[in-house]
Amino acid sequence: MKRSTKNILISSGVAATTMAAIAGAAFSAGKYLMKVALDRELPKSSGKSKTRLTGSTKLEEIANEIDENAARFEATEGIEQIEIQTKDEITLVGHWYPAENPKRIIVAMHGWRSSWSKDFSVISEFWHTSGCSVLYAEQRGQNNSGGDYMGFGMLERHDCAEWIDWVNEKTGAALPIYLAGVSMGAATVLMASGLPLPENVHGIMADCGFTSPHAIWKHVAEKNLHLSYGIIGKIANDICRKKINMGPGDYSTTFALASTNIPVIFVHGSDDKFVPIEMTYENYKACASPKRLVVIPGAEHGMSYYVDRETYEKEMLSFWQDFDNVKPEVNETVESSVETSL
């Protein structure tokens, strides 16, 4: 065999081995990321992966405070634990906290790998004293609710609709309902806006929601984990379809918002490294209904209420005042943007 031919064959073999190694590494990375993203149980080797994924140091710093607040909130007198069965036969757990003289009802959806008590303990007192009865849902695939996988809002939007039905059966549909969510919970309620919801759903309060599973996974992989998402993204798509029967790009908040008539107030912190604020700008631009935008400078992911409670409460009170008694017509738009300074 000629030396040149031999060199070519050797080079081809090395290239093939290298490509196989790259493909194998990409598959392993994609499989691992999908376990972290969707599976109820985190991989044992995950360690502090959530901190790396979110890019947030503040959340880690106040983790003990959040846990303490959550424990106190869970022990609050008057909160009733309830259950519903979804159409796909998943048992979901919720926590009903009625106000004495309610003016409205909130259906609250917590975020990814979080809990109802962690995400809403700090704001719960404001809601309660403002006349809000609240249904705090536990999202599927998390905590006490059933299900092996999370759906990043694509599955949970239907759960949200079923919680609305429970609330209306409980209360006789006599009060306006607002959907509230943080992070994946925000994506959940925004995606739910594309469903045929009852007429007494008067508004949505979305705090730092992403646009689609595909968009947030791509952002986290490239910006926070410094991984090329090309091959990994294709692998993630296939694994996601096998686990939840939907691909990460099959549904999005922007698709739902383009045809909704439900008023929305969008909140986002300027320093969010997990869900970039540009995603809320995309959601705001896509929204066809009356809309408000509140940007909190200096706030990291899910920290807007911690950073500027006064503005947060002021904007929510104004939102309720405007929409408690009136549900606007389709495509009537309120252009309102609020930015605060520290």
Mean pLDDT for all residues in the chain: 89
Whether 1 is covered by a domain: the verdict is no
pLDDT over 80 (residue 4): no
Going from the C-alpha of 84 to that of each of 50, 87, 88, 185, 340, the distances in angstroms are: 30, 10, 11, 18, 40
Q: Which of 34, 90, 19, 31 is nearest to 213 (CA)?
A: 34
Whether 232 is covered by a domain: the verdict is no
Q: Which of 141, 117, 103, 114 is nearest to 244 (CA)?
A: 141
Looking up residue 100, the CATH number of its domain turns out to be 3.40.50.1820
Whether 69 is covered by a domain: the verdict is yes
pLDDT over 90 (residue 298): yes
Enclosing domain of residue 84: 49-212+251-339
pLDDT: which is higher, 331 or 158? 158
At 18-64, the pLDDT tens digits run 444 444 566 788 899 999 999 999 987 655 555 566 666 666 778 88
DSSP 172: T
Whether 4 is covered by a domain: the verdict is no
Contacts of residue 112, Cβ cutoff 8 Å, sequence gap at least 6: 37, 150, 152, 183, 184
Number of Cα atoms under 13 Å in the Cβ half of residue 109: 37
- 8 A C-beta contact, residue 291 and residue 265: yes
Residue 82 phi/psi, 5° resolution?
-135, 170
| Count of the separate structural domains present in the chain | 1
At 68-111, the pLDDT tens digits run 999 999 999 999 999 999 999 999 999 999 999 999 999 999 99
Whether 240 is covered by a domain: the verdict is no
DSSP 260: -
- What pLDDT does residue 25 have? 63
Whole-model pTM?
Answer: 0.88
Contacts of residue 160, Cβ cutoff 8 Å, sequence gap at least 6: 107, 109, 137, 179, 188, 189, 192
Amino acid at 90: I
Going from the C-alpha of 269 to that of each of 19, 176, 184, 189, 298, the distances in angstroms are: 41, 27, 15, 18, 6
- What pLDDT does residue 334 have? 38
Whether 175 is covered by a domain: the verdict is yes
Q: What is the rounded CA–CA span in Å between residue 274 and residue 220?
A: 7
Q: What is the rounded CA–CA span in Å between residue 115 and residue 112?
A: 8
Strand-pair category, 335-339 with 91-97: unpaired
pLDDT: which is higher, 231 or 13? 231
- What pLDDT does residue 63 have? 85
Whether 9 is covered by a domain: the verdict is no
Amino acid at 246: M
Place of tokens 């919970």: 185
Find residue 91's DSSP bridge partners. Answer: 85
Q: What is the rounded CA–CA span in Å between residue 140 and residue 148?
A: 8
Whether 12 is covered by a domain: the verdict is no
Question: In which region does residue 183 sit, left (phi positive, over 0), alpha (psi from -120 to 50) or beta (all else)?
Answer: left
Q: Residue 279 corresponds to which tokens in the numbers above? A: 């995603």
